[in-house]
Amino acid sequence: MTTVRTRFAPSPTGFIHLGNIRSALYPWAYARATGGVFILRIEDTDLDRSNQASVDVILEGMSWLGMDPDEGPFYQMKRMDRYREVLAKLVELEAVYPCYMSVEELDALREKQMLAKEKPRYDGTWRPEPGKLLPPIPEGVKPVLRFKNPIDGVVSWDDKVKGLITISNQELDDLVIARPDGTPTYNFCVVVDDIDMQITHVIRGDDHVNNTPRQINIFKALGALPPVYAHLPTVLNEAGEKMSKRNGAKAVTQYRQEGYLADAMVNYLARLGWSHGDDEIFSREQFLEWFNLDHLGRSAAQFDEAKLRWVNAQHMKKMGDQELASHVKVFLDKENIATDDRLVPICGLFKDRCDTLVALAAWVRSFYASVEIPSEEREKHVVSSVLGAIELLSAKLEQLSETNWTKESIALVLKEVLADTGLKMPQLAMPVRVLLMGTPQTPSLDAVIALFDSKTVLERLRAVKN
Ligand code: GLU
């Protein structure tokens, strides 16, 4: 059996967003699922629009998501010699011909065709045929090279997403594959690369469906077997429009900054156009075990940020506290907040109430840096009738030795204070939470206090009057 070889071939012309990266996820997953090879190819021939910043986002995004290529990145701009070599071969095979039609002539032709309600297409003026007399070659004009598309017959392929697609060759005119300065054009480079890189499966966005019959014809002219194609439906944004930077799509790396886990992103993106029964939450390993090209969705998928947050929350819940803490630490480090071995249990205690690492880091921050107490919370909860109880609590907590600074002992102290003051737990717990963490909504108070160092607790409780 031949080894599966897939590729992701982005054009670095804008920040890669979730819709783009989904086109990387499936070829990557298919290669991994089949023990194949995943290749990264940067299609940077559009010199006006390509830029290094976009390349960086591609590389950083893929590395963050753990979608590392086995081969590449290959840059098309570095392969120009190879394209010229293959172009020379096509000339030799008489599969291309020079066309001297000027832009003005082409425009006039298009206008005429449109007036006649015909589809605009090159009319084959310069296409050599046996017995045909070509026009005289105009002086000083550098020709383009056009590909001799077959005149009759059809091109068809069994698309793994869309099913059998058949296009009549009459629909396809002779494509320009080299510009007057000899630089090759897009469709030609893609085919040369897919042949050289021995790609077996092209999995890409369905905005390329129209290129496929042209590309297949070039494969054939070069005596190569076309790969299997799978054209993925578009990813729509929340407003139902095609996702693009122009209408607010974020760079994929932005999600890392917003505190999403790579595995959650992979899980979420996987479900944007592929399914495994009703499974919504799965690990990277499960995904790679299950992934195949038979369950790709046929209709456009719509991005839903709330769902992404939910998926992320599920992954955070499932993750071991130690590992989660190492992810949270990255965010705290950025703020120069030093942590200690309490970080792991703090993450364990708070993870259930967070849907991003950023939200979890915000909770952790209260343990290591000063807290802002919103005045309305203070006014509402830290009322004069509880001040005595808070003072008593401070005094009793102060008596606890280092080794007794445990959830159990703290629970007993809290009980004693309630017994001594006649308050109910919420009457005491709410103001203490507000003083310690700036909010009355926290996990169980004994567990929270136990994770603070005693000095901070006493300081915050005694700052009650400030
Ligand atoms: N460079 C193309 C793009 O970014 C993809 C080409 C392909 O996958 O064949 O849309």
Residue 194, ligand 1, Cβ within 6 A: no
Report the atom number in ligand 1 closest to the C-alpha of 10.
Answer: 4
For the chain, counts of helices (H) and of strands (E): 19, 12
Whether the CA torsion 76, 82, 86, 88 is positive or negative: it is positive
Contact 33, 47 (CB under 8 A): no
- Of 132, 208, 221, nearest in space to 174 by CA: 221
Q: Which of 11, 201, 212, 242 to mutate to test the pocket of ligand 1 (most atoms within 8 A of CB)?
A: 11
Residue 208, ligand 1, Cβ within 6 A: yes
Q: Which of 20, 42, 190, 228 to mutate to test the pocket of ligand 1 (most atoms within 8 A of CB)?
A: 190
What is the CA(11)–ligand 1 centre distance, in A? 6
HSE (side-chain half, CA atoms, 13 Å) at 293: 23
What is the CA(313)–ligand 1 centre distance, in A? 33
Give the residue whose CA is nearest to atom 6 of ligand 1: 9
What is the CA(2)–ligand 1 centre distance, in A? 24
Residue 10, ligand 1, Cβ within 6 A: yes
Separation CA 109–CA 104 (nearest Å): 9
What is the CA(186)–ligand 1 centre distance, in A? 9
Report the atom number in ligand 1 closest to the C-alpha of 211.
Answer: 9
Residue 389, ligand 1, Cβ within 6 A: no
Contact 350, 360 (CB under 8 A): yes
Quote the crossing angle between the two packed helices 357-368 and 321-334, to the nearest 10°.
Answer: 70
What is the CA(280)–ligand 1 centre distance, in A? 29
Taking residue 265's Cβ as centre, other Cβ atoms within 10 Å add up to: 24
Separation CA 89–CA 465 (nearest Å): 86
List of residues 6+ apart from 190 with CB closer than 8 A: 9, 43, 211, 215
Could you please state the CATH topology (level 3) that the domain comprising 375-465 is classified under.
Arc Repressor Mutant, subunit A (1.10.10)
Residue 204, ligand 1, Cβ within 6 A: yes
Residue 251, ligand 1, Cβ within 6 A: no
Q: What is the token pair recorded at 406? A: 């445990």
Give the pLDDT confidence score for residue 271 in this predicted structure: 95
Separation CA 110–CA 132 (nearest Å): 23
> Does 1.10.10.10 match the CATH number of domain 5-81+186-236?
no
> Does 3.40.710.10 match the CATH number of domain 252-368?
no
HSE (side-chain half, CA atoms, 13 Å) at 374: 8
- Which DSSP string do the residues of 429-441 spell out, in sequence order? HHHHHHHHHSSS-
Residue 43, ligand 1, Cβ within 6 A: yes
Give the pLDDT confidence score for residue 247 in this predicted structure: 83
Tens-digit pLDDT string for the chain (466 aa): 799 999 999 999 988 999 999 999 999 999 999 999 999 999 999 989 999 999 999 999 999 999 999 999 999 999 999 999 999 999 999 999 999 999 999 999 999 999 999 989 999 999 999 999 999 999 999 999 999 999 999 999 999 999 999 999 999 999 999 999 999 999 999 999 999 999 999 999 999 999 999 999 999 999 999 999 999 999 999 999 998 877 878 999 999 999 999 999 999 999 999 999 999 999 999 999 999 999 999 999 999 999 999 999 999 999 999 999 999 999 999 999 999 999 999 999 999 999 999 999 999 999 999 999 999 999 999 999 999 999 999 999 999 999 999 999 999 999 999 999 999 999 999 999 999 999 999 999 999 999 999 999 999 999 976 5
Give the residue whose CA is nearest to atom 7 of ligand 1: 9
Helix intervals (H) in 357-453: 357-368, 375-381, 384-399, 407-421, 425-437, 445-451
Residue 9, ligand 1, Cβ within 6 A: yes
Q: Which helix (H) or strand (E) holds 313?
A: helix 305-318
Residue 11, ligand 1, Cβ within 6 A: yes
Q: How far is CA 49 from the centre of its chain?
A: 21
Domain spans of the chain, in order of start? 5-81+186-236, 252-368, 375-465
Separation CA 373–CA 431 (nearest Å): 11
Separation CA 393–CA 384 (nearest Å): 15
- Of 237, 249, 206, 247, nearest in space to 302 by CA: 237
Task: For 100, list phi and psi in degrees, rounded to 5.
Answer: -105, 15
HSE (side-chain half, CA atoms, 13 Å) at 213: 18
Instruction: Tell me the CA distances in angstroms from 384 to 380, 381, 414, 466, one per residue in order.
Output: 11, 9, 19, 13
What is the CA(102)–ligand 1 centre distance, in A? 29
Separation CA 257–CA 323 (nearest Å): 18
Strands 144-147 and 176-178: antiparallel
Separation CA 28–CA 70 (nearest Å): 10
Interior/surface letters 3-26, b for 16+ CB within 10 angstroms, e for the rest? ebbbbbbbbbebbbbbbbbbbbbb
Give the pLDDT confidence score for residue 344 in this predicted structure: 98
Give the pLDDT confidence score for residue 465 in this predicted structure: 63
What is the CA(408)–ligand 1 centre distance, in A? 60
Separation CA 68–CA 354 (nearest Å): 29
Residue 381, ligand 1, Cβ within 6 A: no
Contact 389, 395 (CB under 8 A): no
Q: Where on the phi/psi map is residue 250: left (φ > 0), alpha (ψ -120 to 50), or beta? A: beta
Residue 44, ligand 1, Cβ within 6 A: no
List of residues 6+ apart from 39 with CB closer than 8 A: 5, 6, 7, 8, 69, 70, 71, 72, 74, 197, 199
What is the CA(204)–ligand 1 centre distance, in A? 7
Q: Which of 203, 208, 215, 218 to mutate to test the pocket of ligand 1 (most atoms within 8 A of CB)?
A: 208
